[in-house]
Amino acid sequence: MKSAYELAMERLEKQAPSRTLTAAQKTEIADLEAAAKAKVAEQELFLKGQIEKALAEGKYEDVAQLEQQLAREIRRAHEECEAKKAKIRSA
């Protein structure tokens, strides 16, 4: 007897069959993820250095702005990566 999960997965597969990615697509997606990870690391290194400098100087308003900027940069890098991955998957 199949579980409810297995039955639901079978129905889902019938409604919208999953697409398999080619080796080239998988490689391209892996490269995108690596590039996004590197971009995030670069931003973290730069902005965390700026945050430490601002903390040492007592510029707490700047610290808050830099932390918000870091969060925006990370979010943007992830969003760009996901958009590019979706484009590759749909091709």
| Exposure string for 62-79, b = 16+ CB within 10 A, e = fewer | ebeebeeebeebbeebee
> Whole-angstrom Cα distance, residue 78 to residue 47?
17
pLDDT digits (tens, 9 = 90+) for 51-64: 999 999 999 999 99
Q: What is the pTM assigned to this prediction? A: 0.72
> Whole-angstrom Cα distance, residue 60 to residue 55?
6
* pLDDT at 17 (0 to 100): 67
Q: What ranges do the domains of the chain cover?
A: 21-90
Q: Of the given ranges (4-8, 18-22, 63-67), which has the lowest mean pLDDT?
A: 18-22
pLDDT digits (tens, 9 = 90+) for 21-50: 899 999 999 999 999 999 999 999 999 999
